Chains A and B, each alone.
Chain A
Amino acid sequence: MCLYTYDGTFEGLLTVVFEAYERKAWPTAIEQEQLAQPIMFGQTIAVATDEEKVSRVWKGLQKKLSVSALKALYHTYLWEQPGFEMLIFSYIKLVFSTDQNIEDNYAAPCVLQVQQVAKQMFREKHRMEAFVRFQKTEDNLYYATISPDFNVLPLIIQHFEKRYADQRWAIYDTQRKYGAYYDLHTVSLINLELPQQQRTVPANAFSEEEDKYKQLWQVYFDHVNIPERKNPKLHLRHVPKRYWKYLSEKQPRALTAKPTN
Chain B
Amino acid sequence: MDSRITEKLKILADAAKYDVSCSSSGGKRKNENKGLGNAEGMGICHSYTEDGRCVSLLKILLTNHCIFDCAYCVTRKSNDIKRAAFTVQEVVDLTINFYRRNYIEGLFLSSGIFKNADYTMERLVRIAKKLRQEEKFNGYIHLKTIPGASDELIKEAGLYADRLSVNIELPSEMSLQQLAPEKNYAEILQPMGSIKNQLIQAKEEKVLFKSAPAFAPAGQSTQLIVGASAENDHQILQLSNQLYKDYSLKRVYYSGYVPISSDNRLPIITEPPIIRENRIYQADWLMRFYGFNVQEIVDEQNPHLDLDIDPKLGWALRNRHMFPVEMNTADYEMILRVPGIGVKSAKKIVSARRFTPLNFENLRQMGVVLKRAKYFITCQTKSMYRQDFDSHTLKNRILFGDGSVRSTLLTQQLDLFKNAG
Contacts and interface: CB of A to CB of B under 8 A. Distances in A.
B223 to A, nearest CB: 14
Interface string B166-210: 000000000000000000000000000000000000000000000
Contact of A105 (B2, B258, B356): B356
B10 to A, nearest CB: 5
B259 A239 contact: no
A124 interface: no
A96 interface: no
Contacts of B133: none
Interface residues of B, number: 60
Interface stretch (B49-57, B240-248, B398-406): B49-57
A35 interface: no
Interface of A: 102, 104-108, 112, 126, 129-136, 142, 144, 162-167, 209, 211-213, 215-217, 219-221, 223-235, 237-239, 247-249, 257, 259-260
B51 A230 contact: yes
Interface in B27-58: 30-31, 34-38, 44-55, 58
Contacts of B2: 212
A107 B356 contact: yes
A135 B94 contact: no
Interface core residue of B35, B271, B408 (most chain A CB under 10 Å): B408
A28 B103 CA distance: 47
Given A106-B362, A126-B44, A231 B50 contact: yes
A229 B274 contact: yes
Interface string B92-113: 0010011011110000000000
A106 B361 CA distance: 12
A129 B105 CA distance: 11
24 contacts: A104-B354, A104-B355, A105-B351, A105-B352, A105-B355, A105-B356, A106-B348, A106-B352, A126-B44, A134-B101, A134-B102, A135-B101, A165-B36, A166-B136, A220-B58, A224-B59, A225-B49, A226-B17, A229-B52, A233-B408, A235-B51, A235-B52, A237-B52, A257-B1
Contacts of A167: 36, 100
B37 A216 contact: no
B117 interface: no
A226 B18 contact: yes
A225 B95 CA distance: 19
Contacts of B14: 223
A232 B272 CA distance: 16
Nearest to A132: B102
B358 interface: yes
B97 A213 contact: yes
A194 to B, nearest CB: 22
B13 interface: yes
B409 interface: yes
Given A130-B45, A216-B94, A235 B31 contact: no
Given A107-B362, A165-B31, A235-B49, A220 B13 contact: yes
B272 A223 contact: no
A107 B379 CA distance: 13
B36 to A, nearest CB: 5
B38 A162 contact: yes
Given A106-B348, A229-B51, A229-B272, A166 B35 contact: yes
B6 interface: yes
A112 B366 contact: yes
